[in-house]
Amino acid sequence: MEAPAAHNPAEPGPLGDRVGNRVEIVVNSPEQMGELGRRLAKLLRAGDLVMLSGELGAGKTTLTRGLGAGLGIRGAVTSPTFVIARVHPSLSDGPPLVHVDAYRLGGGLDEMEDLDLDVSLPASVIVVEWGEGKVEELTDDRLQVLIHRAVGDTTDEVRHVTVTGLGERWASADLGVLSA
């Protein structure tokens, strides 16, 4: 993986004016995406919300699979597209992983209320794929992970990942460790 690209936090980025602590990483394979998830897990604790964005096939579930391995959770991490959410308990004393796929949900937090994410958040790490515009109200402190890939008829495995920490929790976190 390449070193993080330089970023001026005063400049608006993909998240508009709400730019926080940010690192950009180039990932060259699914294995590297899983490793990025394992490194990300080392930064997470109960109460953390991670929002994943990217095209279909960008690597959101692959990243979450690595994150689950890093958290030491039970069960295989697969896309929860048709079940909407899966809870993976910890095999140790760590927090459970709640993996949500909001792709099929159209509304905001009101539509997701049945998932009780607000109840689960304090004790869990919650990862939401396709959560933009749907779960931001859960907490001001969250990680936004944008995964960009080449689209169209291509076998290009390269992904450009931007991890942005928003809120006080992430203001001084060393996100640079993700590009190690």
Per-residue model confidence as pLDDT tens digits over 95-152: 999 988 876 666 555 555 555 565 566 788 999 988 787 777 788 899 999 999 877 6
The Cα–Cα gap between 76 and 130 comes to 20
- In single-letter form, the type of residue at position 150 comes to A
| Number of other residues whose CB lies within 10 A of the CB of residue 105 | 16
pLDDT, position 53: 93
2 or 157, greater pLDDT: 157
Tens digit of pLDDT for each residue in 155-170?
778 999 999 999 999 9
Of 38-42, 65-69, 83-87, the one with minimum mean pLDDT is 83-87
